Amino acid sequence: MAAVTLRIETLLRTALLLTLAVAGPAWSRPAFYWRTDSGTFVAIDYLDLRQSTLRSGDGEIGGTRSLIAAQYASGHDSGAALGVGHEYNALDIAQPGLPQPQANGDLHTLHLASQWRTKLAGGDFRVAAAPAVSVSSNALKNPDVLNSDSLQLWGAALYSRPAGGVRWTVGAARDFRFGEGRLYPVAGIEWQNDTVWLRATYPDVQLAWRLSDRWVLKGELGPDGNAWQAFRRDLRREDTFHREAWGAQLGLVHRFGKGLQIGFLAGLHWDQRWQYRLQDGSLASPRGDSSAFLGVHLGWGDP
């Protein structure tokens, strides 16, 4: 039975990756500097994260995720962009017979993003920065306990220019999408025609396929981790809650009129690993099996 389950998961993952070769991006958790490279928009996503069985046999983790993002851009070719975002994970962590996690699984990340863009040497240069607060819900209710460990700083510096029929991008970024604060290179291409748009820039792949004037098939592949400063219920102890994972997502989006969008999302997480402190003070680092998720997307504007 385990072999059959593994084969089904492998086939689902392969199908998702193959579809990404001809489909395109939906909102899961893209790098913040890609969001601030779009137009003015408001977007709300809600994802149902199916249970992931912990490989150690100690239980399972599932839950829901909601994302809200908004942005105003002064122009596409040059100028500045400002954006805000809020991600809320409500994780259900079941570990029968073991001490429970120090955090209750209600985890928030709020960020304020800014980007400056200018023409440079036949291309354009972008600098983006976003301070963020990433904590368990009880810390938001008691903001006096917030400290430097509750804060994150995301940033990116990217140069891109057209050559050979595509737009090349190179640079570096820092965020927590790999489960911890990490500086990593960004390099790849962007290409489009009348119906297909592709951005393949490490560590993300994003595509969009315009099926008609109203329908767009989107997809995305990239790291899906994060870190939160988690406090015990009595606020007397704190530690970092880490999540590492990769995710692939497909979305079918319908546009109503000039701005309103409604879409349905489906995807898969794999290579999942958590790390968090238990109530008895011990450190848990469980790995989870691959798990699917379903969701809905509501947006307005031109993301």
Q: What CATH number does residue 66 fall under? A: 2.40.230
Query: Could you tell me which of 186, 189, 191 has the C-alpha nearest to residue 209?
Result: 191
Backbone angles phi, psi at 214, to 5 degrees: -110, -25
Record the pTM.
0.86
Rounded Cα distance, 176 and 135, in Å? 13
Rounded Cα distance, 109 and 87, in Å? 5
Rounded Cα distance, 158 and 169, in Å? 7
- Which tokens go with 59? 């239980």
| 154-174 average pLDDT score | 95
Rounded Cα distance, 272 and 45, in Å? 21
Q: Which residues pair with 83 in a beta bridge?
A: 71, 113
β-strand pairing of 226-231 with 238-256: antiparallel
| 148-162 average pLDDT score | 95
Q: What H or E segment, with its residue span, contains residue 182?
A: strand 182-192
Residue 114 above 60 pLDDT? yes
pLDDT at site 53: 92
Given a contact cutoff of 8 angstroms between Cβ atoms, the answer to whether 80 and 117 are in contact is yes
Q: Give the chain's domain count.
A: 1
pLDDT category, 55, cuts 50, 70, 90? confident
Query: Could you tell me which of 259, 26, 237, 33 has the C-alpha nearest to residue 125?
Result: 33
Rounded Cα distance, 181 and 178, in Å? 7
Rounded Cα distance, 68 and 85, in Å? 5
pLDDT at site 76: 62
Query: Which residue did the predictor score with more confidence, 258 or 176?
Result: 176
pLDDT category, 233, cuts 50, 70, 90? confident
pLDDT at site 292: 96
pLDDT category, 13, cuts 50, 70, 90? very low
- Average pLDDT for the chain: 86
| 190-212 average pLDDT score | 94
Tell me the HSE value of 188 on the side-chain side, using a 13 A CA sphere: 14
* Cα–Cα–Cα angle for 72, 76, 78, rounded to 5 degrees: 100
| 134-149 average pLDDT score | 91
pLDDT category, 57, cuts 50, 70, 90? low
Rounded Cα distance, 67 and 131, in Å? 17
What is the 3-class SS of 218-244, one letter each residue?
EEEEEECCEEEEEECCCCCCEEEEEEE
Cis peptide before 203 (omega within 30 of 0): yes
Q: Which residues pair with 135 in a beta bridge?
A: 108, 229
The torsion of the CA quartet 127, 128, 131, 136, rounded to 10 degrees, works out to -140
Rounded Cα distance, 209 and 231, in Å? 43
Given a contact cutoff of 8 angstroms between Cβ atoms, the answer to whether 250 and 219 are in contact is yes
The torsion of the CA quartet 165, 171, 176, 178, rounded to 10 degrees, works out to 60
Lowest mean pLDDT among 47-61, 147-161, 198-212: 47-61
pLDDT at site 303: 55
Residues 6+ apart with CB under 8 A from 173: 31, 33, 154, 155, 156, 157, 158, 183, 184, 186
Rounded Cα distance, 285 and 243, in Å? 10
pLDDT at site 205: 94
State which residues form the domain around 245. Answer: 2-301
